[in-house]
Amino acid sequence: MKTEQQYFNEAIPMTEYVEKMTQAALKAGSEEIYAKFTVPADGFVDTLKGYRILTITEDWCGDAMLNNPILQRIAEAAGIDIRCVYRDADTDLIDRYLTNGGRAIPIYLFLNDAGEVVTTWGPRAPELQQLVVDARATLPDKEDPTFDEAQAALYTNLRNRYLTDAQCWTWVYEDVKRTVQAAQ
C-alpha cells in the first residue's frame, strides 16, 4: 500500500492538472476564479511553510472548480507545492478519506516535511454545504419527470454562484485556514 508521500511524489502539479482538464466549462470556471481570487494578507500563508498539499480531485467536479484555484493561490502565496491525483485512477487513496462514507471530492491532504498527513480539508466549506443542502431540498422527487431538468438547473445555478459570488471564495479560504490552524 502506497503512502500519502508516495502518492504526492507521483502526482502532477496543479498547473498541469488545470492544463489537462477536459471539461471546458469547469476549466474556464477554475481559471476565472484563479484570476479573481486574492489571498488575504492575514499571515495564514506564513504558517504553511514546511507543508505541501496533495489534492484528490477530478475535472468534472463543480466543487473542484471552486476549491482548486483557491488552494492553488494559497499554495503559491505560501511558496509550497500543490499536486493532484485523480480520484478514480486509484481509489485506495480516496478510500482512506471518505466523507460520510462516500468518495466526495476534492480532498486536500496537508503533508509535513516528513510526508505525514497533518490535516485534511474538503470537499466543501460548511456554508457551501448548507447552500447545497438547501438547494437540493427544493428539488422534486427523483421519480418526478422534471427531476433531471431541475437538478441540471440547480448545478448550473450553483456553478454560476461559485463563479460570481466572492463570498463563496471567502468561505473556502476561511474554512481551510480554520482547519489548518486547528491542526497546528
How high is the pLDDT of residue 94? 98
How high is the pLDDT of residue 152? 96
Instruction: Say whether 12 sits in a helix, a strand or coil.
Output: strand
**What DSSP state is assigned to residue 184?**
-
Q: Which residue has the cell 478519506?
A: 97
- How far does Cα 129 stand from its chain's mean position? 13
Please confirm whether the linkage preceding 106 is cis (ω < 30° from 0).
yes
pLDDT band at 18 (very low <50, low <70, confident <90, very high): very high
The average pLDDT across 170-184 equals: 97
- Domain regions of the chain by residue span: 4-124+167-183
| CATH class belonging to 4-124+167-183 | alpha beta
Q: How would you classify residue 43: left for phi > 0, otherwise alpha for psi between -120 and 50, otherwise beta? A: left
Q: Dihedral angle at the C-alpha atoms of 29, 64, 39, 18, nearest 10 degrees?
A: -60
pLDDT in tens, 103-153: 999 999 999 999 999 999 999 999 999 999 999 999 999 999 999 999 999
Q: Which residue has the cell 448545478?
A: 155
The edge-to-edge listing of strands for the beta sheet with 82-86 is 12-13, 82-86, 52-57, 107-111, 117-121
Cell of 167: 463570498
The average pLDDT across 17-28 equals: 97
Q: With beta carbons less than 8 A apart as the criterion, state whether 5 and 115 touch.
A: yes
How high is the pLDDT of residue 175? 98
pTM: predicted TM-score of the whole model, two decimal places = 0.96
Contacts of residue 148, defined as CB under 8 A and 6 or more positions apart, other chains included, come to none
pLDDT in tens, 59-114: 999 999 999 999 999 999 999 999 999 999 999 999 999 999 999 999 999 999 99
Residue 82: strand pairing partners: 53
Residues 2 and 96: their CA atoms lie apart, in Å, by: 11
Residues 41 and 178: their CA atoms lie apart, in Å, by: 15
How high is the pLDDT of residue 95? 98
